[in-house]
Amino acid sequence: MTVKLLIESSKKGNTGIHLPLKSNFPKTDLHQTFPNEWVRETIGLPNVSEPEVVRHFTNLASLNYGVDSGFYPLGSCTMKYNPKINEKLANLEGFTKTHPLQPDFTVQGNLYLMMHFEQLLAEITGMDAFTLLPAAGAHGELTGMMIVKAYFQNKGEAEKRTKILIPESAHGTNPASAASVGFEIVEVKSTNCGGVDVAHLKEVMNDQVAAIMLTNPNTAGVFETDILEVAEIMHQNGSLLYYDGANLNALLGQVRPGDMGFDIVHLNLHKTFSTPHGGGGPGSAPVGVKEYLREYLPVPVIRERNHQITSETDQFNSIGMIRLAGSNFQVIVKAYLYILTMGSDGLKKASSIAVLNANYIKEKLSPFIPAGVPCICMHECVLSAKDFAPYGVQAKDISKRLIDYGFHPPTNYFPLIIPEALMIEPTETESKETMDHFIDAMKKIVQEAKENPSLLLEAPHYTPISRPDEVKAAKDLNVTY
Amino acid sequence: MRYIPITDQDIQDMLKETNLSSVESLFQSIPSSIRFKQDLALPMPLDEMELERHARQIASKNSTSQTHDTFIGEINYQHFIPSIVDTLSSNSAFYTAYTPYQPEVSQGTLEAIYQFQSYMTHLTGMDFSNASLYDGATAAAEALYMLTSSSRKKRAVLSSTLHPHVKEVIRTYAKMRNIEIEEIHSNDGTLAIHDAEDKFTEQTACFIVQIPNVFGLIEDLKPLYDKLSEKKIKLVVVILEPMLLGALMPYDPARVDIVCGEAQTFGIETCYGGPGLGFFTGKKELIRKIPGRIVGKTTDKEGREAYVMTLRAREQDIRREKATSNICTNHALNALRATIYLSTVGEDGLKAIARENINISHYAIDRIEKETPCQIPYKKPYFNEILVKIPTPHTHQEMIKKLYEKNILISKNNMGRFFPYLGESFVISFSEIHQISQIDNLILALKEVLS
Amino acid sequence: MSEVKKGYIYTETDEWVKVDGNEVLIGITDYAQHHLGDIVFVEITAEGKTIKKGDVLTTIESVKSANDVFSPVSGKVLAMNTKLEEDSGLINKDPYNEGWIARIQLANPEELSTLMQDEDYHQYRKE
């Protein structure tokens, strides 16, 4: 059961604002000012009163499950707690009521915050320069790939360097981003821990390789132990290393991408730095580079001279603009405040506990559902439900049954290299008691799977809707009222 | 610790229960030569009170539309936002959720997006809308990628009257794929139709035009429709101020293929440019090629109405390098804000607000032309903003400074920098937030500054 | 156990070919449709095109995947099965008959000898 659409409650004469508008301005006659056929009388929006709107969206919210509702161990998404003070302060009018085209001297507060944030990120990652422009992880990757392209163009090697290496365990966004800007993808085999198969890397290496895109810890949640060797192989070949920051939460203050040999990184502020996921965005994904790539960063760039901070577009060799003026500034404010709250000790503690929590869950659960890889995991662990096939139970059924127990399911079927994957990322913001409840629920579900699999196959049982028909959705497309 | 509910005792218990020797042992796979052993050089941590003080101090260094009369638009627009937009969108069941991959616990987000798609589709007159994109410029660039790759043509034509930011983003994206870009010149501030003749070729995938254009003028696309369809060129209309659509529909939806752009104007703060709200609507035959998420209505196993993300096979997590776009996210929370905004003002409210924007801007711009030394070089139909030319020998920089002293903020973009033939000029923008006294002050200030 | 049609020849990427003189009919195997699950969309835009062996003939979408169908032969695409536009589920229901995808005029009949006979394909996909 869903909530009735507002258009179905629409009534002529209802409105959520004061109508007619109070106005002291003379009316412009639309028919005299514009061609008649432009003037519009109907649109197709509802007419509803304020209390109806409030109830509608409050009811919709009640159908949602967020981090504030309960445990949300969605692997590779880092669903950590979103601090409320950061929400409040990011909504200060001093920030929200500024316009991106205000002259620089009137937004020195914003520019200071951004400049300082860039410096903090450089310290945390071991990189030299940052841009805060990219709007999301995929946009960060796209920006990074554009920088790779511009770098080789400037070296006169663009014609030759056409390939990007991507481990087969990588998230699909990596190959999609590299292909978006015209690179060819070469898949590198993965080890049984999801890492780069160094022997295969050497095999596919040649002078056409522009860069490799890596996530570390990799998508199986395991640290890339051969990272220094990989970096050496790449750099000796004149190629670059790109760091997908999806899993940086495991490493904050423990080891820095810049020290591992990465040339370009993107960070997901909505994962590692606690800004809310918003139901699927907006995020923000600053991109950091080593000094020799600074000149390729997109514009505008932030500079300081004579105690004035400016946002400037004159940067020779820049890849250019990648979005309208501004950044996802409000997200940046929240991440900045998070870092100021945590400090060095806090960030180190966050990564330590994130890793401890994941290992705790893995050790407790692996006797019941085997781990997908035979290695120490970092901030997330992958279990494989392949042994449940005889009961007709798949990973997704376990996930759906978890909803009945009050938990958000883990990530399913990723990474692709692990069959029937259940990827669990608890983050550091969960208590031992919450994790113990989750572990108990998983054990019960394992028991149910063997004794009464239909409990899983028909789950979830207590939600307003269950197992919507995705085939029908795709065949009989209905995407608007 | 404040955000980390694991005590030292918990750590000991957890290690013991799992036979792990220490937390440090979990990091043993990191080569010791690169382990970061010292402290990160970050400021000392702040408590909540200190943090608030610090943030307020930074924010107070900004001028805002609350402290100054602000007449800036171009890419982001200041409109009144009903308070329930903030109240409802700050429900943490919305903002602390992730992408609705599990429909059973995400019907709230999904149904909100379905309504967002419906509203945008009705506003633009297209057949479908996606669940939103990053912003107006990247939406246009995604349209370019989509139409060039689906048609296998390597050429696109832009209107020279696109906002320079949109144009530059498109060019950044285009050069990555060696897509050839040409521009159609303008004449008196709008498209020079005759210039289109030899630039539209069989190899042209699409033509991208903005309404209202960079000078605030509403392009008349009618003379172009046949020229485009003759050569099978897709028409992309970019709109950065869709408030316009509450009063006017200045194109024929039947002749347009994609309408995309920026919908920040609907209930979202300008917030120094972000996060905004890209939108992307189009004709149904294109739906399987589009970037980004889309929500569809279906039924569940018991026949109940339900919403799910659909046409997922296009997306990057499934199709990898063959995906239609690398985009994963939508700006869901801002799409929610726009949906709440459009629901609240409703059909009649949006029409009234859009008309009020026309009333105010036409009143104010009339007075600027009649009472101040400023010129309005292009007098063609416009919505709520227009290009203003600064009389010599005055400069845009000087205007910014002097108007600021009179408590007025104007755009930092000197249009003469992007269009040298214009000389010193800028775009001035009005909306329903402006009162008559503010217009009086503006007129007076312009007169004094330019005397 | 999925069906292998006698008399058809097969590719390693699970397409079948039915030879009819100088023309061939092409589809995907029962094994492949099973693997894909409910098919929701088939692109049928290749008619009239000249295509090389191994080129992507079309893309088949299920709810959670999109898979390329590679042309087992070179030649001109004489027709695509337009019925699939209405009902892509025909591939699930009847992959070897009603669910055919394309008819191609052979440019190079020798290519057929590189494909698998039904027995070999049966062995190849025996689980």
Q: Determine the 3-state secondary structure of B356 from DSSP.
A: helix
Q: Determine the 3-state secondary structure of B236 from DSSP.
A: strand
Note whether B149 and B287 are same-domain residues.
yes
Q: CA gyration radius for chain A?
A: 25
The burial of B203, by beta-carbon neighbours within 10 Å (0-12 exposed, 13-18 middle, 19 or more buried), is given as middle
- Write down the number of H helices and E strands in chain B: 13, 15
Please give, rounded to a whole number of angstroms, the shortest distance from the CA of B339 to a CA of chain C.
28
CA angle C102, C108, C113 (to 5 degrees): 90
**Per-residue pLDDT, B1:** 80
Please give, rounded to a whole number of angstroms, the shortest distance from the CA of A468 to a CA of chain C.
12
Specify the pTM.
0.95
Q: Which residue of A has its CA nearest to B435?
A: A24
Separation of alpha carbons B90 and B358, rounded Å: 32
Please give, rounded to a whole number of angstroms, the shortest distance from the CA of B199 to a CA of chain A.
25
Separation of alpha carbons B292 and A176, rounded Å: 12
Please give, rounded to a whole number of angstroms, the shortest distance from the CA of A395 to a CA of chain B.
13
Using an 8 Å CB-CB cutoff, list chain B residues near C64: 312-313, 318
- Whether B60 is in a domain gets the answer no
Residue type, A262: F
Alpha-carbon distance values, A36 to A41, B45, B222, C65 (Å): 11, 62, 14, 48
- Whether B426 is in a domain gets the answer yes
Which residues in A357-366 are b (16+ Cβ under 10 Å) and which e? bbbbbbbbbe
Length of chain A as a residue count: 481
**Per-residue pLDDT, B218:** 98
- Whether B37 is in a domain gets the answer no
Find tokens 């801007």 and name the residue.
B361
Residue type, A407: F
What are residue A123's phi and psi, to 5 degrees?
Answer: -65, -45
What are residue B125's phi and psi, to 5 degrees?
Answer: 80, 15
Q: Do A180 and B411 touch (CB under 8 A)?
A: no
Chains linked to B by 3 or more Cβ pairs within 8 Å: A, C
Q: Do A279 and B123 touch (CB under 8 A)?
A: no
CA angle B294, B299, B301 (to 5 degrees): 125
Using an 8 Å CB-CB cutoff, list chain C residues near B322: 66, 68
Q: Do B97 and A279 touch (CB under 8 A)?
A: yes
Note whether B321 and B279 are same-domain residues.
yes
Q: How many CB pairs under 8 A join B and C?
A: 20
Note whether B237 and B350 are same-domain residues.
no
CA angle B365, B135, C61 (to 5 degrees): 140
Q: Do B5 and A323 touch (CB under 8 A)?
A: no
What is the CB neighbour count within 10 angstroms for residue A308?
11
Q: Where are the beta strands (DSSP E) in B313-436?
A: 385-389, 408-409, 425-429
**Per-residue pLDDT, B200:** 95
Across-strand partners of A196?
A: A190
Please give, rounded to a whole number of angstroms, the shortest distance from the CA of B148 to a CA of chain A.
12
- Whether B61 is in a domain gets the answer no
Q: The CATH number of A85-341 is which of 3.30.1050.10, 3.40.640.10, 3.40.50.2300, 3.30.70.360?
A: 3.40.640.10
Assigned token pair, C48: 């009239």
Assigned token pair, A111: 């520019």
Number of domains in chain B: 2
Using an 8 Å CB-CB cutoff, list chain A residues near B123: 43-45
**Per-residue pLDDT, B274:** 92
- Whether B139 is in a domain gets the answer yes
Interface check for C62 against chain B (CB to CB < 8 A): the answer is: yes
Summarised one tens digit per residue, pLDDT across range B317-336 is: 778 888 888 998 899 999 99
The residue among C36, C42, C63, C64 with the most chain A CBs within 10 A of its CB, best to mutate, is: C63
Using an 8 Å CB-CB cutoff, list chain B residues near A63: 105-108, 111
**Per-residue pLDDT, A1:** 59
Please give, rounded to a whole number of angstroms, the shortest distance from the CA of B124 to a CA of chain A.
9
Using an 8 Å CB-CB cutoff, list chain C residues near A470: 63-64
Note whether B308 and B364 are same-domain residues.
no
Say whether pLDDT at C127 is over 60.
no
Q: Write the CATH number for B255.
A: 3.40.640.10
Query: Among residues A413, A312, A323, which one has the least CA distance to residue A372?
Result: A413
Summarised one tens digit per residue, pLDDT across range B269-300 is: 999 999 999 999 999 999 999 999 999 999 99
- Domains of chain C from N-terminus onward: 13-109 (2.40.50.100)
Using an 8 Å CB-CB cutoff, list chain A residues near B55: 89, 92, 333, 337
Separation of alpha carbons B379 and C32, rounded Å: 63
Residue type, A258: G
Please give, rounded to a whole number of angstroms, the shortest distance from the CA of A481 to a CA of chain C.
22
Residues of chain C with a CB closer than 8 angstroms to some CB in chain A: 38, 40-41, 61, 63-64, 88-89
Domain map of chain A by residue range?
A: 6-62, 85-341, 344-457
What are residue B61's phi and psi, to 5 degrees?
Answer: -80, -5
Please give, rounded to a whole number of angstroms, the shortest distance from the CA of C20 to a CA of chain B.
33
Please give, rounded to a whole number of angstroms, the shortest distance from the CA of A390 to a CA of chain B.
24
Note whether B285 and B308 are same-domain residues.
yes
Separation of alpha carbons B75 and B166, rounded Å: 9
Q: Which residue of C has its CA nearest to B310?
A: C63
Q: Does the complex come out with an ipTM higher than 0.90? A: yes
CA angle B297, B303, B309 (to 5 degrees): 25
Note whether B187 and B287 are same-domain residues.
yes
Separation of alpha carbons B118 and B116, rounded Å: 5
Note whether B315 and B408 are same-domain residues.
no
Q: Do C64 and B313 touch (CB under 8 A)?
A: yes
Using an 8 Å CB-CB cutoff, list chain B residues near A55: none
Of B313, B314, B322, the CB nearest to C62: B313
Separation of alpha carbons B72 and B385, rounded Å: 9
Using an 8 Å CB-CB cutoff, list chain C residues near B298: none
Using an 8 Å CB-CB cutoff, list chain B residues near A66: 92-97
Using an 8 Å CB-CB cutoff, list chain C residues near A471: 38, 40, 63
Using an 8 Å CB-CB cutoff, list chain A residues near C64: 470
pLDDT in tens, chain A (481 residues): 579 999 999 999 999 999 999 988 999 999 999 999 999 999 999 999 999 999 999 999 999 999 999 999 999 999 999 999 999 999 999 999 999 999 999 999 999 999 999 999 999 999 999 999 999 999 999 999 999 999 999 999 999 999 999 999 899 999 999 999 999 999 999 998 999 999 999 999 999 999 999 999 999 999 999 999 999 999 999 999 999 999 999 999 999 999 999 999 999 999 999 999 999 999 999 999 999 999 999 999 999 988 999 999 999 999 999 999 889 999 999 999 999 999 999 999 999 999 999 999 999 999 999 999 988 899 999 999 999 999 999 999 999 999 999 999 999 988 888 999 999 999 999 999 999 999 999 999 999 999 999 999 999 999 999 999 999 999 999 999 9
Chains linked to A by 3 or more Cβ pairs within 8 Å: B, C
- Report the CATH number of the A344-457 domain: 3.90.1150.10
Q: Do C88 and A475 touch (CB under 8 A)?
A: yes
Say whether pLDDT at B210 is over 60.
yes
Q: Which residue of B has its CA nearest to C42?
A: B288
> Helices marked H in B3-67 — which ranges?
8-18, 48-59
Q: Which residue of A has its CA nearest to B97?
A: A66
Give me the domain span that covers residue B73: 69-80+346-449
E strand or H helix at B416: helix B415-418
Note whether B273 and B315 are same-domain residues.
yes
Q: Determine the 3-state secondary structure of B133 from DSSP.
A: strand
Q: Do C63 and B313 touch (CB under 8 A)?
A: yes
Interface check for C41 against chain B (CB to CB < 8 A): the answer is: yes
- Cβ–Cβ under 8 Å, residues A30 and B363: no
Q: Do B322 and C66 touch (CB under 8 A)?
A: yes
**Per-residue pLDDT, A110:** 98
Please give, rounded to a whole number of angstroms, the shortest distance from the CA of C63 to a CA of chain A.
6
Interface check for A477 against chain C (CB to CB < 8 A): the answer is: no
Chains linked to C by 3 or more Cβ pairs within 8 Å: A, B
Q: CA gyration radius for chain B?
A: 25
Q: Write the CATH number for B411.
A: 3.90.1150.10
Query: Among residues A94, A86, A328, A96, which one has the least CA distance to residue B59?
Result: A94
Among B340, B364, B394, the domain boundary falls at: B340
If phi > 0 it is left, if psi is from -120 to 50 it is alpha, else beta; for residue B251 that is: beta
Q: Determine the 3-state secondary structure of C59 from DSSP.
A: strand
**Per-residue pLDDT, B322:** 82
Q: What is the 3-state secondary structure (H, E, C) of chain A?
A: CCCCCHHHHCCCCCCCCCCCCCCCCCCCCHHHHCCHHHECCCCCCCCCCHHHHHHHHHHHHHCECCCCCCCCCECCCCCCCCCHHHHHHHCCHHHHCCCCCCCHHHEHHHHHHHHHHHHHHHHHHCCCEEECCCCCHHHHHHHHHHHHHHHHHHCCCCCCCCEEEEECCCCCHHHHHHHHCCCEEEEECECCCCCECHHHHHHHCCCCEEEEEEECCCCCCCCCCCHHHHHHHHHHCCCEEEEEHHHHHHCCCCECHHHHCCCEEECCCCCCCCCCCCCCCCCCCCEEECHHHHHHCCCCEEEEECCEEEEECCCCCCCCCCCCCCCCHHHHHHHHHHHHHHHHHHHHHHHHHHHHHHHHHHHHHCCCCCECCCCCCCCCEEEECHHHHHHCCCHHHHHHHHHHCCCCCCEECCCCCCCCEEEECCCCCCCHHHHHHHHHHHHHHHHHHHHCCHHHHCCCCCCCCCCCCHHHHHHCCCCCC
The burial of A265, by beta-carbon neighbours within 10 Å (0-12 exposed, 13-18 middle, 19 or more buried), is given as buried
Residue type, A191: T
Q: Where are the beta strands (DSSP E) in B342-429?
A: 385-389, 408-409, 425-429
Note whether B157 and B259 are same-domain residues.
yes
What is the DSSP code string of B137-176? HHHHHHHHHHHHHHHT--EEEEETTS-HHHHHHHHHHHHH
Q: Which residues contact B64 (CB under 8 A, 6 or more apart)?
A: A93, A94, A97, A98, B70
Among B292, B309, B340, the domain boundary falls at: B340
Across-strand partners of A130?
A: A288
What are residue B11's phi and psi, to 5 degrees?
Answer: -60, -45
What is the CB neighbour count within 10 angstroms for residue A316?
7
Note whether B228 and B143 are same-domain residues.
yes
Q: Which residues contact A289 (CB under 8 A, 6 or more apart)?
A: A127, A128, A129, A130, A147, A263, A264, A265, A296, A297
Using an 8 Å CB-CB cutoff, list chain B residues near A24: 435-436
Across-strand partners of A117?
A: none
Note whether B281 and B218 are same-domain residues.
yes
The residue among C39, C44, C61 with the most chain B CBs within 10 A of its CB, best to mutate, is: C61
Say whether pLDDT at B45 is over 80.
yes
Note whether B270 and B298 are same-domain residues.
yes
Region B188-206: mean pLDDT is 93
Check residues C1 and B375 and name the one with the higher pLDDT.
B375
- Cβ–Cβ under 8 Å, residues A256 and A126: yes
Separation of alpha carbons B396 and B425, rounded Å: 7
Q: Which residues contact B62 (CB under 8 A, 6 or more apart)?
A: A94, A95, A98, A106, A107, A108, A109, A110
Separation of alpha carbons A38 and A25, rounded Å: 22
